[in-house]
Structure 1
Amino acid sequence: MGQGALIPLFWFYLSIFFVQILLSRMKGIRIPSILAYLFLGILLSYYGKGLFHQEQMKWLDGLSEFGLYYLMFLSGMEIDLKSLRFQKGVKIRQNPLIIGLLVFAGSALLAFLLGTRIHQIDPSIKSWMIMLILLTTSLGIVMPVLRETGVIKSQYGQLLLTSAILADLITMIMLSIIGGSYHTGFTWRQASAGLLLPLTVIIYQAILRLRKTSFWHKEFHKNSVFRLQGLLAVLGLYGIITDMTGSEAILGSFLAGFLLASFHLHDHHPFKEQLEGIGYGLIIPIFFVMVGFRFNISEFVRSPEALGWVPLLLSTAYIVKVLPMMCLGPILGMRRALAGGFLLSSRMTLIVVAASIGIRLGVINKGIQDAVIVVAIISSLLSPMIFSMSINEPS
């Protein structure tokens, strides 16, 4: 790393700090931080080209990739295992898990049909990749909005939360399996990715037993640094295994977070706050800033193809979520069903990840990737506002 290699990082963190100050001052409009980081990256790329050299930016790609894995880890931590269990004594039409699975199945069918149509428009674009892109949602947006509107504990809120969790979890697994086997074919190496799930159970049981020992209370329980290093070791173990199996490392990171979620750490638990502080304060912003930095807005504006994809992808992104939720109109009421469909259409994290994987596999083009980023920005701004206005209107 040559002289001045850290200069871009210094500029990034200085800019991120001022962005946070700006967001804290905006009381009337709530803009997700990750969306602000994307905008920041775009601005730095457009106005700060003279500040950075290409050689200085290369090593930040590695830090950005780790930020992605850490983001997937924190996303796994947000999963409420209780919402993924069958609830005995609850009618099928009131069971969040069953309804969530039906909503996802409806979305998958629509996404497949629309993906096939897009493939007919441009045969170089694989329909299954478009399907996975359209199936994504943003748990990181859905959960805070449900909390802010005060419906997260209600049956309606749990239904939307479960639907968002299922969309993230199933799409993550499908992305990992297909992404790891697309070029090499599905071999024993990819099949060994199935070991991740039993490994999660084994590690969970091992940690439960470790917590009963004096070693845990003397070292882990009292030493926060040692506890953090142990957790990062588990995250590293999942990363190594996913690399050995040829699956996507995002799945291993997600399952590591899913493992920690099984210990039911409350929102203000010191350890959880420490992990989130490291992620959202130090590592994850770099990932989104770099995504925005690599997004060439001048090239996008001058590209009729990329501009043309935006309205098509945006409309299909809403269709695959809103139409299945409309089928729940007789149960939820049409206004609440529509509002829920719009909220589930919020896309930010996983859709950007899916587009990045699609580019790496060569199954979508740069125009689609740029259009996906624009769709993520628009849906992340528009969907929460529509939901909040609809849910606060009198019935």
Structure 2
Amino acid sequence: METSPDSLLLIAGLLLLAKVSGAVAIRFGMPSVLGILVAGLLAGPAALGLIGHDEFVGNLGHIGVVLLMFLAGLETDPQGLRTVGRTALLVAIGGVALPMAAGYAVGVLAGMETMHALFLGAILTATSVSITAETLKELGRSRSREGNIIMGAAIIDDVLGVLVLSALVVAESGGSIGEPLIKLVLFSLLAFGIGRWVMPLIAEHHTRIESPDTRVALTLAMALGFAWLAYEVGGLAEVTGSFLAGVMLSRTDLGHHIVEPVSRLGYTLFIPIFFVYIGSSVTLSDLTAAPLISAAIVLVALITKLAGCGIPARLCGESLATSVRVGAGMVGRGEIALVVASVGLAEGVVDATGFSIAIVVTIVTTIAAPLLLKAAYQWFPDARTVTSPNPALAAEFAAGGQ
């Protein structure tokens, strides 16, 4: 596929738009991803019509989403997932099960096909670790009791969301039930073998590679190769493979060394293009096609995270204040919801209207999450705040490399 001068100009414009809009959003106390999405929405056909479809630029954005999930895997601490506790696990399960069921029910009531309704529910299961972490950091509560629960549950939530996404993609692939299962088993065996023997061997000898650029290139090759294996061998979404590659490398010394350069590469070029280009994919007709459904889904998105995460925390013996804060901190959807929506759109199980609803949900919940969390601290000032180390992510990378 050839590039044209127009493609190069579009890339330049998208990068400038993403960085400027992200900086403006941060200046107003909002996550940068929100500014990028809104800028793409305004510059696209939904408003000004300055950004059109370009296949080459779209492919760059596709690489961006693969890198985004690879970084999410790198920033995941498997040991932290095991030690974060029963509360975080139950909060994560509630934060996936209730939004999934409610989203599916709304989709069915709105007349959607079964698979479309399931993907709508899957979009609602996501939780944005970056938005939550940044808000907790600003409030000085990253190491509080509720901060630990939120961060641990958000990571488990993302893992469960990836598994739900993979299951839906396999279900949509058609054919006999045996073929997807065989492909899943084969990929699982390959993934286990590579994760158990190949990656540790490479990671153990990475210091013999003198060039840092070569080490980064090697890990990117593993991420892209694993993404290909997941799609071609396992019948899964490519993002599933890149996420698993990141998780496997996160336990190694090599993984610790390459987080910063990979994050810099991704957030300099590919990931901003993904966010702004995905925002520009929405048309005005899509946004106005189903206003009642959009409003209903936004309401469901807010309530199901508040209840689905807050109630399990309360049942685990947490105080009312801590439970409310946990529910509020899990409201934001962010980039993971966009990943699920984009995969669903590519697979043909989310139509243009469903994709636009996902954009609206992401924007509204991204704005609502920090506002609700700050309000929860104001309304419940006497909550228990036991300080302990954050089990999951380093703060500097929890904010998504911004």
Contact 2:99 2:121 in 1 (8 A): yes
2:112 and 2:18 map into 1 onto residues whose CA distance is 40
The counterpart of 1:313, out of the listed 286, 297, 322, is 297
C-alpha change, 1:234 and 1:360, in structure 2 (3 Å) is closer
2:160 and 2:97 map into 1 onto residues whose CA distance is 14
Which residue number corresponds to residue 42 of structure 2? 43
In the alignment, is residue 33 of structure 1 matched against residue 25 of structure 2? Answer: no
Please give the TM-score of this superposition, normalised by the length of structure 2: 0.83
Higher relative contact order (CA 8 A, sep 6+): 2
Cα deviations across residues 143-169 of structure 1 (Å, max 9, x unaligned)? 333333333334432211121111111
1:329 and 1:212 map into 2 onto residues whose CA distance is 44
Which residue number corresponds to residue 353 of structure 1? 339
Aligned-pair distance for 1:244? Answer: 1.6
Residue correspondence of structure 1 range 81-100 to structure 2 within 5 A: 81-85=78-82, 87=83, 96-100=84-88
1:384 and 1:61 map into 2 onto residues whose CA distance is 31
The counterpart of 2:306, out of the listed 315, 322, 329, is 322
Once the two structures are aligned, what percentage of the paired residues are identical? 23
Which residue number corresponds to residue 161 of structure 2? 171
RMSD: 2.6
2:217 and 2:106 map into 1 onto residues whose CA distance is 48
Q: AA paired with 1:40? A: A
2:297 and 2:273 map into 1 onto residues whose CA distance is 26
The counterpart of 1:19, out of the listed 18, 21, 46, is 21
Residue correspondence of structure 1 range 40-189 to structure 2 within 5 A: 40-46=39-45, 49=49, 54=53, 57-85=54-82, 87=83, 96-114=84-102, 115-124=104-113, 126=115, 127-185=117-175, 186-189=177-180
Residue correspondence of structure 1 range 233-382 to structure 2 within 5 A: 233-245=221-233, 246-263=235-252, 271-296=258-283, 298-300=284-286, 302-303=288-289, 305=290, 307-324=291-308, 325-329=310-314, 331-382=317-368
The secondary structure found in structure 1 opposite 2:231 is helix
Contact 2:96 2:157 in 1 (8 A): no
1:360 and 1:292 map into 2 onto residues whose CA distance is 15
Aligned-pair distance for 1:387? Answer: 0.7
2:106 and 2:5 map into 1 onto residues whose CA distance is 51
2:95 and 2:86 map into 1 onto residues whose CA distance is 14
Aligned-pair distance for 1:294? Answer: 1.0
Which residue number corresponds to residue 394 of structure 1? 381
Q: Which has the larger radius of gyration?
A: 1
Q: AA paired with 2:302? A: Y
Aligned-pair distance for 1:278? Answer: 0.7
2:94 and 2:344 map into 1 onto residues whose CA distance is 23
Q: AA paired with 2:200? A: L
C-alpha change, 1:146 and 1:327, in structure 2 (3 Å) is same
Q: Unaligned stretches of 5+ in structure 1?
A: 88-95
Q: Unaligned stretches of 5+ in structure 2?
A: 383-402
C-alpha change, 1:125 and 1:359, in structure 2 (3 Å) is farther
Which residue number corresponds to residue 388 of structure 2? none
1:201 and 1:261 map into 2 onto residues whose CA distance is 15
1:61 and 1:372 map into 2 onto residues whose CA distance is 19
The secondary structure found in structure 2 opposite 1:242 is helix
2:353 and 2:52 map into 1 onto residues whose CA distance is 25
Cα deviations across residues 27-48 of structure 1 (Å, max 9, x unaligned)? xx32212111111212222565
1:124 and 1:207 map into 2 onto residues whose CA distance is 41
2:323 and 2:254 map into 1 onto residues whose CA distance is 31
C-alpha change, 1:59 and 1:150, in structure 2 (3 Å) is same
Q: AA paired with 2:61? A: S
Which residue number corresponds to residue 203 of structure 1? 194
Contact 1:68 1:284 in 2 (8 A): yes
Aligned-pair distance for 1:183? Answer: 3.4
Which residue number corresponds to residue 90 of structure 1? none
2:253 and 2:81 map into 1 onto residues whose CA distance is 14
